[in-house]
Structure 1
């Protein structure tokens, strides 16, 4: 099947004129038709080769319901007729169990022609979950909060997965229709409108997509073709078939998905979930093929389309250019920075945190991005990782919180309930002073205390009960008397809503203003805005639980003193600081702190660091 990069080549499409062009991959079917929901008429489709079926018709209009009808042999070698929703459906108006609804992607009148995007190095990312970010919990209501984000200094929002999932409540990683925008969030038109508004206001949009598995409830992909393989196991069931027999149609399906978000929804970047779980030992890894197709699209549209990956491997092959035998991903999340930061801040060293020694590991992440780049990992019981040699700071995304690190705790506690107010400010400063792309999780900027719990709304009682039991088993080692929150309960979902009223309260408002200050510094100071790993040096003071971080060079050089201990610390930092200038002190009264830093804190080559603080200073050059 030859693809036109500038149009969607799968599912139902209205490419101008009065007709719908329909394309379906169903390699095992002997007959295929499209069923019009209005009167149950069946329109026969024609084979075009390699498992694809095609029809062009004026009988299907935008807004019409439809299904596909397949005649094929079942596992008992008997002929059966199946009626199934479109695997490339754009809109499941009645949920995963309903008919597909035809949607015209080209009908929306975009007004963002002047938008050319922003450089990856200028991304300041705000991760949000549509259902809990606002009281209304839909895409349209996100638009009402964009001015807040702009005033904060955010340059890109990252939306957790929108692919159609069962029910109305879910993190989004149980999606079963990868092309369909969740109906309870407003569907595809609402997403187009949101992206258009973001671009008009100068905000980039990142969308979280899941190519490593399909959710269990309402998943009918396997009835259309060999979408899954038994060759590999994943934590979520059968692996997607990217390299086994019949994989060409599967690969095309996900490539088309990536292209659609960029081309038809004007998304600026995709964040690909857990790409370490993509099993592909073919001659061209699926990520590399997606990258090459996205580059073709960029050349055709004149816009940059970015690919950011979540990766639990310290392997820069994923982010190296394709001409250097890499997969060409533009950036990756590095959880190790988060783990080292949390241990530095007092997180218990259990589970994967056991591999990190606090400030020593954090200083290494500042210097090398990866903490483990070939050393022995006790948690993994093997040597792990490789050096991130030659990779720019803008290829790494760091954070003190995200949906996983909060929501995968049994009680979904945010940092604001786990550490002190002073430590919160220090952790924020640690992220924004890094030579990497910073990411915030919704509500972090005002020290939100509501939890972000794991929640679902599976409609099948057996699956719902299995999720409950699985969640309890996951945290069975906790013996503190707390009851594991029920993922299926609406109350669990409602508890996870961000509380915007807190912004009006003094301490929360102080934190908000502190974040604004940090982001302004990040954008305006040359040492912070230029993500130069070569001009970054971190030194750990292990016994004092402190880090001295140097950013920039010559007249733009700054020093960041991070004290994770609960006592003031006398640090030898070397050199004359007679002509010093204070840029930021998290312990200042202005930021709700004790106000302990003064000129007396600095002597020849010495600095007295306040407890749980970050102080940023620069030397004046005369």
Structure 2
């Protein structure tokens, strides 16, 4: 078997496998080492010894059966028998995404158990599943954003075969699968990349420490490591897209930005395989250049999350104004995000203490390039107690929030359990095995919220197993009357979105908003979305009612805390 590794600073490199060490020799490619070891019984686990120190796992390890600190194991992608030969993917435009965390989506916390719930998503009307990170991370339970083996699938979820079974099952049901990947940092526990080469640089700093080195000396191989990883997920695991975590923290000063290079690489893979593939960025920059075509000087990504739309919607429904919500909360702000995407598009941000963002060209940029959401893992899990928006809203306002989300011009994304108003929180949890790191995570979490007036005993300990267990969805809620009613409302909204072309029209220029202090009328072509946020009834606009959140809607008015979708009188579809 041939072993290869990039370790440019090492004087000697050995591969340890089957209890024996074998010397590696320098390859023609600068910094690379190779060794051919005769096959023994099976394929034993292996690691690399650098200048006598080790063994350490392979930076490109495809499988870590004993966790991030264990040895690596070879994995043959060709051995898996796929059944999705006819799958060609789904376009992002017009789709509804559903974000889920494998470890808390079901009590079992595995790919196979999650696959058993896919029929629920089909019945809901979802088009694509977005998985939180599954790259191998420390311990058994965690969010996945502290992954350290980017090429390996987390073992407790089911490993590489488990992920493939999940993707295969999704494709059989017509569902695309998107994976959240993290290229802006790696977790500290089990991270040995710095021993191999200049994977990190002090030239740039991020919230997690030194930046991943994509633009300094030695960065060619680091970029190849990231690009190769992204293509591996799409090619070998048949994934349909990637969600790129916090791309604003990828510090790249090269003329060809890593994101642009990635977009071009994925386009080539898509053309070669004949499958639809897309890239979605999370970014704090409010910069439409991310989703501007490469031909027009942009990075050429397919979509980006729109936090401003979330903030506008959340604050209007809840009344919260703390922290980064300070500039949001008025009807005018929601109207701006519905028609121009970003609130901060070169305007003053009081939270940042400076102007922020860049305008979206609403005449040229389709709205489906921006993901809208009422909830997501960050906006729930980064709250002190992980409380969902449903914990603070009346049943009427929950329906209003869903109505505004699913009739907005953006690509909508739901967070698991949102569709039935899950009563379970979704908290920040971790499972670090090193006592000092575990203590630092617990204390840091409580210290973060103590600065905002929270008592330490009221902030769940991330390392407490109960914090994880409390975050697991309770599927029995789905059969309870209030939850079932909300679920059926989500189903009806998604079905209407699919039936009415106006609701997937990507032209931002075709969206207009009228509003008062507690009401909205949103125009989507021949459709109107009328919203009453207040407690008292309001006059109902003229039109034929297509869908209403309240059974009390009639010709006399629009009830308090309700939403109705109408067609302009005399403008039926042809």
* TM-score by shorter chain over 0.5: yes
Kindly state the Cα deviation for residue 30 of structure 1 after the two structures are TM-superposed.
2.3
Q: Deviations over 1:59-81 (max 9, x none)?
A: 2787521101222xxxxxxxx53
Q: Structure 1 residue 582 and structure 2 residue 545: aligned?
A: yes
- Aligned pairs for 1:272-287 (under 5 A) are 272-287=244-259
Gaps of 5+ in 1: 1-19, 72-79, 589-594, 602-608
Kindly state the Cα deviation for residue 57 of structure 1 after the two structures are TM-superposed.
4.7
- What is the CA–CA distance in structure 2 between the aligned matches of 1:469 and 1:108, rounded to whole Å? 43
Q: Specify which of 537, 562, 579 is matched with residue 512 of structure 2.
A: 537
Q: Specify which of 155, 159, 162 is matched with residue 190 of structure 1.
A: 162
Kindly state the Cα deviation for residue 483 of structure 1 after the two structures are TM-superposed.
1.6
State whether residues 70 and 81 of structure 1, in contact with CA within 8 Å, keep that contact through their aligned partners in structure 2. Answer: yes
Q: Tell me the secondary structure at the aligned position of residue 233 of structure 2.
A: helix
CA RMSD for the aligned pairs? 1.6
Kindly state the Cα deviation for residue 615 of structure 1 after the two structures are TM-superposed.
1.0
Paired position in structure 2 for 1:546:
519
Gaps of 5+ in 2: none
Q: Specify which of 562, 566, 571 is matched with residue 617 of structure 1.
A: 566
The alignment covers a number of residue pairs equal to 568
- Aligned pairs for 1:94-113 (under 5 A) are 94-113=66-85
Kindly state the Cα deviation for residue 265 of structure 1 after the two structures are TM-superposed.
0.3
Q: 1:239 to 1:537 in 2, by over 3 A?
A: same
Paired position in structure 1 for 2:152:
180
State whether residues 34 and 45 of structure 1, in contact with CA within 8 Å, keep that contact through their aligned partners in structure 2. Answer: no
Q: 1:375 to 1:415 in 2, by over 3 A?
A: same
Q: Specify which of 465, 477, 482 is matched with residue 502 of structure 1.
A: 477
Kindly state the Cα deviation for residue 21 of structure 1 after the two structures are TM-superposed.
4.1
Q: Specify which of 17, 22, 28 is matched with residue 48 of structure 1.
A: 28
Q: Tell me the secondary structure at the aligned position of residue 120 of structure 1.
A: coil
- What is the CA–CA distance in structure 2 between the aligned matches of 1:362 and 1:620, rounded to whole Å? 26
Q: Deviations over 1:193-228 (max 9, x none)?
A: 111111111000000000000001111000000000
Paired position in structure 1 for 2:53:
81
- What is the CA–CA distance in structure 2 between the aligned matches of 1:44 and 1:230, rounded to whole Å? 30
- What is the CA–CA distance in structure 2 between the aligned matches of 1:477 and 1:226, rounded to whole Å? 36
- What is the CA–CA distance in structure 1 between the aligned matches of 2:480 and 2:277, rounded to whole Å? 40
Q: Tell me the secondary structure at the aligned position of residue 345 of structure 1.
A: helix
Paired position in structure 2 for 1:600:
556
**Structure 1 residues 336-345 or 469-478, which shifts more?**
469-478
- What is the CA–CA distance in structure 1 between the aligned matches of 2:548 and 2:451, rounded to whole Å? 40
Paired position in structure 2 for 1:138:
110
Kindly state the Cα deviation for residue 570 of structure 1 after the two structures are TM-superposed.
4.3
Q: 1:486 to 1:140 in 2, by over 3 A?
A: same
Q: Deviations over 1:369-415 (max 9, x none)?
A: 11111111111121211111021111000100000000000010011
Kindly state the Cα deviation for residue 105 of structure 1 after the two structures are TM-superposed.
1.4
Q: Deviations over 1:220-273 (max 9, x none)?
A: 000000000101111111110111111111111000000000100010000000
Q: Specify which of 430, 445, 448 is matched with residue 474 of structure 1.
A: 448
Q: Deviations over 1:79-99 (max 9, x none)?
A: x53321001111110101111
- What is the CA–CA distance in structure 1 between the aligned matches of 2:297 and 2:14, rounded to whole Å? 43
- Normalising by structure 2, we get a TM-score of 0.96
- Normalising by structure 1, we get a TM-score of 0.89
Paired position in structure 2 for 1:25:
6
Q: Specify which of 547, 557, 569 is matched with residue 538 of structure 2.
A: 569
State whether residues 157 and 203 of structure 1, in contact with CA within 8 Å, keep that contact through their aligned partners in structure 2. Answer: yes
Paired position in structure 1 for 2:45:
65
- What is the CA–CA distance in structure 2 between the aligned matches of 1:240 and 1:49, rounded to whole Å? 22
Q: Tell me the secondary structure at the aligned position of residue 98 of structure 2.
A: strand
Kindly state the Cα deviation for residue 367 of structure 1 after the two structures are TM-superposed.
0.3
Q: Specify which of 379, 401, 405 is matched with residue 351 of structure 2.
A: 379
Q: Deviations over 1:170-197 (max 9, x none)?
A: 0000101011100110101111111111
State whether residues 93 and 101 of structure 1, in contact with CA within 8 Å, keep that contact through their aligned partners in structure 2. Answer: yes
Q: Deviations over 1:274-311 (max 9, x none)?
A: 00111000111111111111122122111122110001
Kindly state the Cα deviation for residue 532 of structure 1 after the two structures are TM-superposed.
2.6
- What is the CA–CA distance in structure 2 between the aligned matches of 1:135 and 1:287, rounded to whole Å? 36
Q: Tell me the secondary structure at the aligned position of residue 600 of structure 1.
A: coil
Q: 1:57 to 1:620 in 2, by over 3 A?
A: farther
State whether residues 341 and 358 of structure 1, in contact with CA within 8 Å, keep that contact through their aligned partners in structure 2. Answer: no
- What is the CA–CA distance in structure 1 between the aligned matches of 2:206 and 2:194, rounded to whole Å? 16
- What is the CA–CA distance in structure 1 between the aligned matches of 2:359 and 2:236, rounded to whole Å? 38
- What is the CA–CA distance in structure 2 between the aligned matches of 1:44 and 1:193, rounded to whole Å? 36
Q: Deviations over 1:145-183 (max 9, x none)?
A: 000100000110000000111100100001010111001
Kindly state the Cα deviation for residue 55 of structure 1 after the two structures are TM-superposed.
3.8
Q: 1:61 to 1:203 in 2, by over 3 A?
A: farther
- What is the CA–CA distance in structure 2 between the aligned matches of 1:610 and 1:393, rounded to whole Å? 30
